[in-house]
Amino acid sequence: MKNAQAAVLALALLGLTSCKTTAEVGDPGRRSELGGEHPGTTAEHAGKSVEHAGVAAEHAGAAAEHAGQRARGVTAEQIKEAMGAYITARVRDGGGAFRITDERSREALSLEFVKIHDPVRKIEKRGYFACTDFHPVGAEGEKLYDLDFWLQLREGTLVVTEERIHKHPEQQGSAWVKRARYTFENDDPIEIQ
Q: What is the pLDDT of residues 110-152, one digit of tens each?
A: 999 999 999 999 988 889 999 999 999 999 779 999 999 999 9
- Type of residue at 2: K
Handedness of CA 44, 48, 50, 54 (dihedral sign): positive
Nearest-5° Cα angle at 30, 120 to 17: 50
pLDDT, position 158: 96
Q: How far apart are CA 103 and CA 182, in angstroms?
A: 13
**CB of 70 closer than 8 Å to CB of 121:** yes
Q: What share of the chain is helix, strand, coil (3-state, %, to 5)?
A: 15, 35, 50
Q: Is the pLDDT of residue 1 over 90?
A: no
pLDDT, position 66: 54
Q: Is the pLDDT of residue 161 over 70?
A: yes
Q: How far apart are CA 39 and CA 42, in angstroms?
A: 6
Q: Respond yes or no on whether the N-terminal peptide bond of residue 119 is cis (omega within 30° of 0).
A: yes
**CB of 67 closer than 8 Å to CB of 129:** yes
- Listed in sequence order, the residues at least 6 apart from 158 whose beta carbon sits closer than 8 Å to its beta carbon are 74, 78, 79, 82, 128, 151, 152
**CB of 121 closer than 8 Å to CB of 25:** yes
Dump pLDDT digits (tens) for 32-59.
332 333 222 222 332 322 233 333 334 4
Q: How far apart are CA 170 and CA 54, in angstroms?
A: 23
- Listed in sequence order, the residues at least 6 apart from 7 whose beta carbon sits closer than 8 Å to its beta carbon are 19, 80, 81, 84, 85, 88
Which of 53-62, 76-85, 181-190 has the highest mean predicted lDDT (pLDDT)?
76-85
